[in-house]
Structure 1
């Protein structure tokens, strides 16, 4: 059973050297990449793979991203990326990614996605069971 308001998955991640800036801290743009990596873990956990969504005639595109930087992460830190459903709309989905280091919230990424037809790239409502899979975490 899904954990209401809990993370959909917990993706472990170790900071690689090349992800750090000259100050030895993870370069800001990499947090968006971490969220993107975790989004595919969400699709895998809920549907088996992202390809299953495409076969169902639906995909997502990022419409908006925000990042809050709360504590620095450095080379070789073990992180956990935890996606939560922030909002579930008719043709949109907002996921909040909590990026934790040793249990401390280091960064928070929120992505607003729009469900689209993968061929036309026009907004569309996802199938009911796809929405229901995310609803389990609201």
Structure 2
């Protein structure tokens, strides 16, 4: 990519947005992430959130049973988000500022449509 070329989030985000219900067991979240080769799932609802591989590792490291712990127990909510039209470098700055690795993406109607991760931001600039 040329240094002066603008890249928008919509050009690199993962779609479709993979989701999981808040009441699902963490084990199911882990299986879904493995199946789709992703590191985070969006949790839709009035208190939308996100569960990541780090959350799953924390459950296992604490000695808790991933089949018994629910996504709602460990997800991060509320979540920061970006629109499809945000420049990728701005999304990367947000991730750094908030100490996060995933941002759900919304369209102009505020519908969740994808996910951008720190991997997307670094690979685009290599």
Give me the TM-score of the superposition, normalised by structure 1.
Answer: 0.24
Higher helix share: 2
Choose between structure 1 and 2: higher strand proportion.
1
TM-score (norm 2): 0.25
